[in-house]
């Protein structure tokens, strides 16, 4: 079975840079992981779009998502660069589209532009963004995805909605990859998010590595694709993998095989402590990835 793989760089959000005191050295540790992935056989590197650490906000480093994406675009030459996922509430969708277009050019067409509705309430409020309940956030997200798509595909797009409007903005260049930057929508909402995937996205991210959940969400996605006349097989079906450093490579392969059987064809791995020790990531690249090529 064929499967492609991405890896998260240590960005600080998961308290994964705290053992490095100097912020410049922290950034370089993050970049070093991206460059290691760039050497192969990884398809992509990924960052989160968050400002505060988890499981609770602490006075520790969390590097900003799109700034990181733009610098990694120039610090690497081969791997694709993605966000899992950009938070819709943090940027007007027209600005999101403009930023993504710029990074796609900076990376020579290697951007995986991720977007989701957002969920980290404390972070929204701390940074002065208006927090709303789920129905309102999802309604805004629905409009935002349409705005982004228009910004990437129309010369002078117009949109007037309840949450967003644009009045013939110019977005040039729109990017390098055709017909537009690769659009990844994260989240498993069955009525809104997966329908948006079916209509607009090049890829989705569902299930959190749980085979049963992956299977269920992808069945819903297939139904939306059938209803809209979209080719389901043209959508990348990604999921996440939290690497367990205590398990063997064979056990990891077994976990990924179950994800693949559920319908996933792309795995984005988080490797604990990779800022300090590259060996588990290298072992994964040498012993796990070749099993799915």
What domains does the chain contain, in order, with CATH numbers?
4-292 (3.20.20.30)
Taking the complete model, does pTM exceed 0.75, yes or no? yes
Q: Is the pLDDT of residue 176 over 80?
A: yes
pLDDT in tens, 201-249: 999 999 999 999 999 999 999 999 999 999 999 999 999 999 999 999 9
How high is the pLDDT of residue 1? Answer: 67
Length of the chain: 293
Average pLDDT of span 269-274: 98
Output the CA torsion 25→31→33→34 (10° steps): 180
Output the CA torsion 142→105→27→25 (10° steps): 180
217 CB burial (10 A radius; 0-12, 13-18, 19+) = buried
pLDDT in tens, 128-167: 999 999 999 999 999 999 999 999 999 999 999 999 999 9
pLDDT in tens, 60-106: 999 999 999 999 999 999 999 999 999 999 999 999 999 999 999 99
Six token digits for residue 79: 């791997």
pLDDT in tens, 99-128: 999 999 999 999 999 999 999 999 999 999
- Per-chain mean pLDDT for the chain: 97
How high is the pLDDT of residue 227? Answer: 97
How high is the pLDDT of residue 293? Answer: 87
Calculate the alpha carbon distances from 251 to 91, 206, 240, 280, 283 in Å: 40, 22, 16, 14, 13
Average pLDDT of span 274-279: 98
Helix, strand, or coil (residue 80): strand
Six token digits for residue 259: 């994800």
């Amino acid at each position: 079975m064929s499967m492609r793989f991405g890896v998260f760089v240590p960005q600080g959000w998961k308290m994964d840079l705290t053992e490095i005191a100097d912020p410049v050295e922290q950034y370089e540790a993050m970049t070093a992981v991206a460059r290691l992935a760039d050497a192969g056989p990884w398809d992509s590197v990924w960052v989160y779009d968050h400002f505060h650490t988890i499981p609770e906000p602490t006075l520790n480093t969390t590097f900003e998502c799109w700034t990181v994406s733009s610098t990694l675009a120039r610090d690497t030459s081969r791997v694709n660069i993605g966000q899992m996922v950009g938070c819709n509430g943090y940027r007007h969708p027209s600005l999101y589209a403009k930023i993504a277009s710029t990074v796609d050019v900076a990376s020579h067409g290697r951007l995986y532009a991720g977007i989701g509705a957002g969920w980290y309430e404390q972070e929204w409020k701390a940074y002065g963004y208006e927090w709303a309940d789920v129905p309102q956030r999802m309604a805004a997200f629905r409009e935002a995805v349409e705005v982004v798509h228009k910004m990437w595909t129309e010369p002078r797009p117009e949109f007037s909605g309840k949450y967003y409007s644009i009045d013939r903005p110019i977005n040039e260049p729109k990017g390098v990859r055709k017909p537009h930057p690769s659009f990844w929508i994260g989240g498993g909402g069955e009525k809104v998010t997966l329908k948006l995937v079916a209509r607009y996205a090049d890829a989705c991210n569902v299930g959190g590595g749980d085979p049963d959940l992956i299977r269920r969400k992808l069945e819903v996605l297939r139904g939306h694709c059938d209803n809209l006349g979209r080719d389901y097989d043209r959508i990348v079906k990604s999921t996440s993998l939290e690497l367990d450093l205590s398990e063997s490579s064979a056990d990891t392969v077994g976990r990924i095989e179950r994800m693949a059987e559920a319908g996933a064809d792309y795995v984005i791995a988080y490797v604990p402590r990779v800022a300090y020790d590259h060996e588990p990531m290298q072992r994964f690249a040498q012993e796990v990835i070749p099993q799915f090529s």
